[in-house]
Chains A and B, each alone.
Chain A
């Protein structure tokens, strides 16, 4: 690598960061549930698939895009409330592993009902944004990636405003910090949990549409959550900011690694490089960059 090409490096870096935003999108859905319920929600991927599939199917049946968006969001909110009522409330105060298993079951139920409702074929999803690259001072940037990053940025800003400046958001943060104390002073834990699930459904919708447009809406779409895991390990399971930074690191590092280290391994390291980074991180800082360090009594 005698002649280091700076503009090429920047191009790879920007491409990586933008795809990292897409990972962060998925990871934020996990963070919302983890913060309030203390459980890694295995159903986040299927929820994302469900949202994308419902949207595509509505569009294919001739419903206008804005109306379809509203309908899907309403459906996701209802599903969120239903999950809180029927799965989480009866299992309150159970050990985390019980809750985790419950979300695992939930994942199959959500995925199965998506298939039952809309069938199993692959759908193309066109959001009306082309994937053609354009030139910014000699660096090629994907139009779609930029659009996705913009949407993700707006969504994060909306979430942060909601959590910082509303009473429900404040209750949510209180319950995340100490659910027992929050219940004792009268905060409505059920409503807070339902809010978290609705917010996670909203995130699943946004992520589902962007990922669906990229990969096509099909059942393997629920597997994009696998990319969220290293992001969560890096950023911490309970930090939205961590999810964003973690996503950016994963996106950038895997693209850079592919281009600059990949040739030494015969290429194709992009697929697993994020997991290696996550593993190293687990050894050094298990709580993640922004995660709360847990002290557990045994």
Chain B
């Protein structure tokens, strides 16, 4: 079930992060994402999931965070020494917590912004736009509306669509299920799974909703107080309900 490959796309060893020079967010996180793999990053509120994703996209500077790691590689390059934009253009694209779509811009402008960020040509932009509209037909109807006026589900699709405009090889998602109805969550995760199977898109997804994440992931890494405490096959982890309560703090049956 788990696809294997000689070299991981993303390698993280002994990652630690401090905010404002004083607040320790992560002490020791190890994490790999191989090509064509979906990895779930699980853990309770405050375990450090968002911080891991921020480190990987090198977005800590904007929130006054400092990261160190023994090994921090995306596709062979040190992600802690590349700007967020460089990483996007190399194929590591984040979908941020809380969606963060550009509210005053139209849905289509939001999508185009994703292509501009990845320095895609006009022809590539048009092609990717077509592709995103095929994946999320709901966005076609709303393409001229300001993104801020669309529903939460549509905004999440838009945030993912905007990231896909950059033609990622690794997509990171921070709590994509947050605040969404179970059916919408299913819809979004199914689309992600399809992208993974059809196009080999690697995905690293942080979720509090462990049930839904484990249903679609190949592997899971469990964070606990800033430490990657546990790593396992998603099927095995799913089977062990007691463990889930213990490590994940909360059980959700949205799936």
- What residue in chain A is nearest B159 (Cβ atoms)? A181
Identify 22 residue pairs between A and B in the complex whose beta-carbon atoms are under 8 Å apart, listed by A's number.
A170-B109, A170-B112, A171-B116, A173-B102, A173-B105, A174-B102, A177-B102, A177-B103, A178-B100, A180-B59, A183-B62, A184-B59, A184-B88, A185-B94, A185-B117, A186-B84, A186-B85, A186-B87, A186-B89, A186-B118, A186-B166, A187-B117
B-side residues, CB < 8 A to A, are: 57, 59, 61-62, 64, 84-85, 87-89, 93-94, 96, 100-105, 109-110, 112-114, 116-119, 162-163, 166
Q: Which residues of A are found within 8 Å of B62, using beta-carbon distances? A: 93, 180, 183
Bound together, the chains give a CA A180 to CA B84 distance in angstroms of 10
Q: Is the CB of B104 within 8 A of A185?
A: no
The smallest beta-carbon distance between A55 and chain B, in angstroms, is 35
Among A171, A174, A178, the most chain B Cβ lie within 10 Å of the Cβ of: A174
A-side residues, CB < 8 A to B, are: 93, 167, 170-171, 173-174, 177-178, 180-188
Q: Is the CB of B105 within 8 A of A185?
A: no
Please name 9 further chain A to chain B contacts, defined as beta carbons within 8 Å, in addition to the given A171-B113, A177-B102, sorted by A numbering.
Answer: A170-B105, A174-B109, A177-B103, A181-B101, A183-B85, A184-B84, A185-B162, A186-B118, A187-B117
Q: Is the CB of A182 within 8 A of B113?
A: yes
Bound together, the chains give a CA A184 to CA B102 distance in angstroms of 12
Bound together, the chains give a CA A148 to CA B85 distance in angstroms of 42
Which among B94, B105, B166 is the interface contact of A174 at CB below 8 angstroms?
A: B105
Q: Is the CB of B166 within 8 A of A185?
A: yes
Q: Is the CB of A181 within 8 A of B100?
A: yes
Q: Is the CB of B117 within 8 A of A177?
A: no
Q: Is the CB of B104 within 8 A of A177?
A: yes
Bound together, the chains give a CA A80 to CA B202 distance in angstroms of 41
Say whether chain A's binding surface is mostly helix, strand, loop, or mixed: helix
Q: Is the CB of A186 within 8 A of B119?
A: yes
Q: Is the CB of B102 within 8 A of A181?
A: yes
Bound together, the chains give a CA A3 to CA B166 distance in angstroms of 68
Q: Is the CB of B84 within 8 A of A183?
A: yes
Q: Which residues of B are found within 8 Å of A174, using beta-carbon distances? A: 102, 105, 109-110, 113
Q: Is the CB of B114 within 8 A of A185?
A: yes
- What residue in chain B is nearest A238 (Cβ atoms)? B104
Q: Is the CB of A170 within 8 A of B113?
A: yes
- What residue in chain B is nearest A167 (Cβ atoms)? B116
Q: Which residues of B are found within 8 Å of A167, using beta-carbon distances? A: 112, 116
3 smallest CB-CB distances across A and B, nearest first, come from A186-B117, A186-B88, A181-B100
Q: Which residues of B are found within 8 Å of A184, using beta-carbon distances? A: 57, 59, 84, 88, 94, 96, 100
Which among B61, B64, B109, B163 is the interface contact of A185 at CB below 8 angstroms?
A: B163
Q: Which residues of B are found within 8 Å of A180, using beta-carbon distances? A: 59, 62, 96, 100
Q: Is the CB of A187 within 8 A of B113?
A: yes
Known A-B contacts A185-B114, A186-B119, A187-B117; the reply to A93 vs B100 at CB < 8 A is no
Bound together, the chains give a CA A173 to CA B101 distance in angstroms of 12
Bound together, the chains give a CA A205 to CA B59 distance in angstroms of 37
Q: Is the CB of A177 within 8 A of B105?
A: yes
Bound together, the chains give a CA A258 to CA B110 distance in angstroms of 47
